[in-house]
């Protein structure tokens, strides 16, 4: 039985190309002399760029950098063919090959490493750091370079596709710059799948309505909407749209139709599988809350942005009273008396918030109760200072009127 041994040539491609050229007569003595004259110039330039040409270590590092840059460019240009590479060394200077490798790395750095939609500008310091690492500490093989380039090009195509969708669906660049291409695409597919009368990236309220439409038993998709949308689309974007819709139907649609999570929770809780939503300044916040938290709007009377309303409701709940947004004098006294007898039922307040509040407000409301309202109320509603008794609740009622919605006038006696 014969054993075969694979021989791996791990020398830099630059060195292999030179040896090949000499062996097969592509390169002669005059070409080596030109390289020997070129090399010091390039080494000094590289050393000065990343450090100083006056330090031996920087010069030695520059030699390795130059060899790596030339190897990367040569192997890419020749596609690994030593004959072509040797011919390039014969016909062009070392400095041009080194610059070619540097430009390859700069182009790679300028391309998107992910699919966020923010505007990209050339960062000179970041570019220098990238080239610094990729020419010495972590040099790129051609295969690694091409794989990273392929991924970056795919990211760019994804971003361009998302921008095209956003433009056709009436969204502006400054509206989606903090989102990813995937979030923009996912929202576009939702709109095209449901097929509302106006095709546009949804606001929060519109998103809730789209999901509610999806969840109706009578809902039927409108493939004609997608066909019309793609009638004049570029071929590449037509294919990407069809692929994106298939992915939406397979992955996002089941989550949207499941009643395990409310539409409000899907909109605000999911980092993965999130959606791009347009902020509409003119959109009525109360109208949105009515869609996602009807009982909350009823209890707060639509004034959930008023701290006094929230304080009144939370103190009622914390003392076992009905959740009300205003308090009569006798009700305020009942809250104070209940607190002095039993303290606050903090768990009841947290459960009330969890059950009724809009999802995106829950954590802030819990923090308001635990870190602000509760400790402040425990101090001012108590009567445990023998030096300053408050048996008639006068001080406590003054605090209540200042911080809550009190519906009485005049004396608290």
Q: Dig out the tokens for 91 from the structure.
A: 């016909």
> Confidence class of residue 210 from pLDDT cuts 50, 70 and 90?
very high
Percent of the chain clearing pLDDT 70 (strictly above): 94
Q: What pairs with residue 406 in β-bridges?
A: 327
> Confidence class of residue 142 from pLDDT cuts 50, 70 and 90?
very high
> Confidence class of residue 26 from pLDDT cuts 50, 70 and 90?
very high
Rg (CA), the chain: 34
Please determine, for residue 129, whether its predicted confidence score (pLDDT) is greater than 50: yes
Kindly state the greatest CA–CA separation across the chain.
111
d(CA 240, CA 403): 56
Q: What is the pLDDT of residue 113?
A: 93
Q: What is the pLDDT of residue 161?
A: 97
Q: Which residue has the tokens 């075969």?
A: 4
Please determine, for residue 36, whether its predicted confidence score (pLDDT) is greater than 80: yes
Q: Which residue has the tokens 């809550």?
A: 404
Helical spans, DSSP H, in 169-304: 173-176, 181-194, 204-214, 223-229, 235-247, 253-257, 263-269, 285-292, 294-300
Please determine, for residue 284, whether its predicted confidence score (pLDDT) is greater than 70: no
3-state secondary structure at position 120: coil
d(CA 280, CA 288): 11
44 closest CA partner among 63, 31, 71, 72: 63
3-state secondary structure at position 5: coil
d(CA 129, CA 311): 53
> Confidence class of residue 75 from pLDDT cuts 50, 70 and 90?
very high
Q: What is the pLDDT of residue 279?
A: 82
Mean pLDDT calculated for residue range 2-17: 70
d(CA 276, CA 201): 8
Buried b (16+ CB within 10 A) or exposed e, 201-219: bbbbbbbbbbbeebeeeee
Q: Poorest-confidence range of 55-69, 95-109, 282-296, 326-340?
A: 282-296
Tell me the pLDDT tens digit for each residue of 364-404: 999 999 999 999 999 989 887 767 777 778 888 999 999 99
Q: What is the pLDDT of residue 399?
A: 93
d(CA 407, CA 327): 6
> Confidence class of residue 132 from pLDDT cuts 50, 70 and 90?
very high
145 closest CA partner among 44, 73, 196: 73
Q: What is the pLDDT of residue 311?
A: 96
């Amino acid at each position: 039985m014969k054993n075969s041994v694979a021989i791996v040539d791990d020398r830099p491609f630059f060195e292999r190309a030179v040896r090949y050229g000499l062996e097969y007569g592509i390169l002669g003595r005059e070409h080596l002399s030109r390289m020997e004259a070129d090399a010091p110039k390039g080494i000094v330039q590289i050393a000065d760029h990343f450090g100083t040409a006056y330090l031996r270590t920087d010069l030695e590092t520059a030699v390795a950098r130059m060899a790596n840059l030339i190897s990367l460019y040569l192997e890419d240009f020749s596609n690994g063919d030593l004959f072509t590479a040797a011919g390039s060394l014969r016909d062009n200077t070392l400095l041009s090959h080194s610059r070619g490798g540097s430009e390859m790395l700069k182009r790679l750095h300028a391309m998107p490493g992910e699919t966020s939609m923010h505007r990209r500008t050339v960062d000179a310091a970041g570019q220098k750091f990238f080239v610094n690492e990729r020419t010495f500490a972590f040099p790129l093989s051609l295969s690694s370079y091409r794989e990273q380039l392929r991924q970056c090009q795919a990211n760019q195509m994804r971003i361009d596709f998302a921008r095209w969708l956003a433009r056709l669906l009436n969204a502006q660049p400054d509206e989606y710059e903090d989102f990813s291409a995937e979030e923009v695409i996912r929202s576009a597919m939702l709109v095209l799948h449901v097929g509302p009368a106006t095709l546009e990236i949804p606001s929060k309220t519109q998103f809730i309505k789209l999901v509610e439409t999806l969840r109706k038993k009578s809902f039927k998709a409108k493939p004609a909407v997608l066909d019309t949308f793609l009638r004049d689309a570029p071929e590449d974007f037509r294919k990407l749209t069809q692929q994106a819709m298939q992915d939406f139907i397979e992955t996002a649609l089941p989550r949207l139709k499941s009643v395990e999570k409310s539409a409000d929770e899907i909109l605000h809780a999911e980092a993965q599988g999130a959606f791009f939503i347009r902020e509409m300044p003119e959109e009525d916040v109360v109208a949105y809350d009515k869609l996602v938290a009807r009982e909350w709007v009823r209890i707060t009377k639509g004034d959930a942005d008023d701290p006094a309303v929230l304080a009144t409701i939370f103190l009622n709940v914390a003392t076992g009273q009905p959740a009300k947004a205003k308090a009569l004098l006798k009700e305020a006294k009942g809250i104070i008396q209940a607190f002095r007898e039993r303290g606050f039922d903090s768990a009841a307040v947290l459960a009330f918030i969890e059950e009724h509040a809009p999802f995106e407000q829950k954590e802030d409301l819990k923090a308001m109760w635990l870190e602000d309202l509760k400790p402040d109320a425990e101090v001012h509603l108590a009567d445990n200072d023998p030096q300053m008794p408050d048996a008639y609740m006068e001080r406590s009622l003054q605090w209540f009127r200042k911080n809550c919605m009190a519906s009485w006038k005049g004396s608290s006696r």
